[in-house]
Amino acid sequence: MRDDASRPDRADLGNRGPSDAHLGAGDDNDPVNAEEATDDAPPPPLYDDSITGEIAALIDDGRTYAQAEIAFQKIRAKLAGRRIAVAIACIVIAVVLLHIAFLALAVGLVMALEPLVTIWGAIAIVVGALLLLVLVLGLKAKSSGQKLSALFASDDESNAS
């Protein structure tokens, strides 16, 4: 029986068997092989290039999406502004036409009442009825305004009144 530890070429292997002899080339504890390993191989990257590439692409896609969304909302706001301008113009024209219609109604009522009462009586009746209508609508608006302000008043203000 041979003793492998007594042979000089086997003694430096230590507890490793003969099949593990090729593993010594990459051993970090071996000063001769460690110097060769550091010269040939670049240091490992801190981050995987595929992950950093994916993160960079994700950030770029997010930036592109945000820019597209901002552009879309700007166009949407311009369209909404134009629609609002058209709606306001239509409301103004409708109010003007309604005013003209009420004037025509008032004149028509004066002309219709003139044969029954004098012209001055017809004017007094129409103006009085219109002023009464204005008074009723004004009181209703005041009541609605007070109810609205009560909704937004704090408890201390409502208890003090």
Q: What token pair was written down for 94? A: 């409708």
Inside any domain, residue 17: no
CA atoms within 13 A on the CB side of 144: 6
Residue 4 lies in a domain: no
Q: How many domains does the chain have?
A: 1
pLDDT single digits (tens) 107-154:
999 999 999 999 999 999 999 999 999 999 999 999 999 998 988 887
CA distances to 63, 70, 94, 96, 97 from 84, in Å: 31, 21, 15, 18, 20
| pTM for the whole structure | 0.47
Structural domain range at position 127: 81-160
